[in-house]
Chains A and B, each alone.
Chain A
């Protein structure tokens, strides 16, 4: 998953400093793989360079000064574009798709749209594979079947998630 987009999505809720962002990310998305500090700061500096975030003051404290970052209009547009663009249908997308759904819910956008757009992209690839199977030899058919069964598994996850969106929205809103 693009960490940059996840951080941008989290910044839509208001400015945060790096440590705070890491904590929010780990809580939402980093169950198995928490972010390293180095990743957070290198990603933020890239986002800053690209004008997607801006510095929003410094938080004074006992320890070192902590810069706060805010998302810019260009950053919001970038998140919108990311959420609205389906991922290339391929196996093992669940981390990215899960993050998109959660960030859509967190930011008050339509998670149903994210799921529907992805379903349409998946089915489009499945149609191409089904046509290829009809014209192909047995080897082609078996290769296409492998991809079709994996894509179907993704789609079942999309359906199940769509059916549980209300509950997920409640959990995310806690």
Chain B
């Protein structure tokens, strides 16, 4: 079943055309790698389909709702309730402990501190970072920080997780651990993952890949 559908997206930044008719379909529960060279438009595509950036033209549908015709407020609300995000770095609030960071999306949705922190602790244990719960992000290693960020992305039980180069700042071994935990957790909860990466070994954790080149997305099905 199609969960997220983008059609004919165009997006420019000044004279730079980042997207020129890109389209994409994400089905419920699948892990899709969005690949392509630097500057091909893959991160812009992710930001447009996740409702972070409005495209100049084109349509993004999430279930039976049209993201592209929602107000900023409605899109923010949707991002908080249905989407999770993992970026390369700089996503955790440095002043909060790791536990408070993971609990934050639940607190913002109005959940009581005790309940939010209980749920956060469960996810931190699954991602094997419960040992750093009381530390601040600056006191953790890169790999631990990414796993805390994944716990925060998963704590709201999102339908889609958007991950933009989640292992970009990690060495091979930590990158592998992060990808294994991220994809295992997504499969366990049934969340779809849109994974932007230029690394083939990271893309190999996906079910299929979409290639973005010159602002256009291309689906390549490999039939054995």
Q: Which A residues have a C-beta under 8 Å from some C-beta of B?
A: 86, 112, 116-117, 119-124, 126-127, 129-130, 134, 148-149, 151-152, 155-156, 159, 162-163
Contacts and interface: CB of A to CB of B under 8 A. Distances in A.
Contacts of A121: 222
B204 A116 contact: no
B222 A120 contact: yes
Given A119-B220, A124-B222, A130 B205 contact: yes
- What 7 pairs between A and B have smallest CB-CB spacing? A120-B222, A126-B204, A155-B200, A130-B204, A120-B220, A152-B200, A124-B222
Tell me whether chain A's interface is mostly helix, strand or loop, or mixed: helix
Tell me whether chain B's interface is mostly helix, strand or loop, or mixed: loop
A120 B204 contact: no
A161 B211 CA distance: 15
A163 B206 CA distance: 23
Contact of A126 (B180, B198, B201): B201
Interface residues of B, number: 18
A134 B180 contact: yes
A134 B220 CA distance: 25
Interface in B89-138: none
Interface of B: 37, 180, 198-201, 203-206, 209, 211, 213, 218, 220-222, 224
Contacts of B203: 123, 126
B37 A148 contact: no
A122 B200 contact: yes
Given A123-B200, A123-B204, A148-B201, A116 B224 contact: no
B200 A151 contact: yes
B205 A123 contact: no
Contacts of B199: 152
A137 to B, nearest CB: 15
A163 B212 CA distance: 12
Contacts of B204: 123, 126-127, 129-130, 148
B222 A123 contact: yes
B200 A116 contact: no
B68 to A, nearest CB: 29
B220 A116 contact: yes
B37 A159 contact: yes
A151 B220 CA distance: 18
Nearest to B198: A159
Given A116-B220, A117-B220, A134-B180, A123 B201 contact: no
